[in-house]
Amino acid sequence: MKYMLMMNCPRDGYDQFTSWPKKDIEAHIAFMIGFAKKLQGSGEWVDGQGLDAPTQAKVVRAGKDGKPITDGVFPESKEYLAGYWIVDVESPQRAYQLAAEASAAPGPGGVPFNMAIEVRQVMSGPPETK
């Protein structure tokens, strides 16, 4: 079964991250690389991507003429999606366990950052609808 693990960050999370000390940034990046390698090694990795900074985000809706109307940057949301993993695992418990591992990525001073990871199952269907 496939799950999407969504790493959500508070609205000012990006600014926090960019002002961490160098060794904490390095430790965080090294953790993320290691986590991806581990998932690939265990055969559970499907996909994983980091998204660009929320300051670059646009919210788009179709106007009456079907043309895009873009809104600025997440005006109201308290949280934003920083990145995600899609894993193929044996059980929901395994997905939660992986999410907890990701959540414990080191933050400032090497202390677990305890980010909120939203876990959602990816729906399955017959191949022709994919």
Name, in order, each residue with C-beta under 8 angstroms of 89's C-beta and a sequence gap of 6 or more.
1, 2, 3, 44, 95, 98
With CB under 8 A as the contact rule, the residue among 4, 10, 11, 20 that binds other proteins is 20
Residue 25 binding other proteins, by CB under 8 A: yes
Residue 56 binding other proteins, by CB under 8 A: yes
Q: Please state the three-class secondary structure of the chain as a single string.
A: CEEEEEEEEECCHHHHHHCCCHHHHHHHHHHHHHHHHHHHHCCCEEEEEECCCHHHCCEEEECCCCCEEEECCCCCCCEEEEEEEEEECCCHHHHHHHHHHHHCCECHHHCECCCEEEEEECCCCCHHHC
Judged by CB under 8 A, which stretch of 17-25, 72-80, 91-99, 118-126 contacts other proteins? 17-25
Q: How far is the CB of 13 from other proteins (least distance, A)?
A: 12
With CB under 8 A as the contact rule, the residue among 41, 43, 50, 127 that binds other proteins is 50
With CB under 8 A as the contact rule, the residue among 16, 55, 77, 124 that binds other proteins is 55
Residue 29 binding other proteins, by CB under 8 A: yes
Residue 41 binding other proteins, by CB under 8 A: no
Site residues (vs other proteins, CB under 8 A): 14, 17-22, 25-26, 29-30, 33, 36, 50, 52-53, 55-56
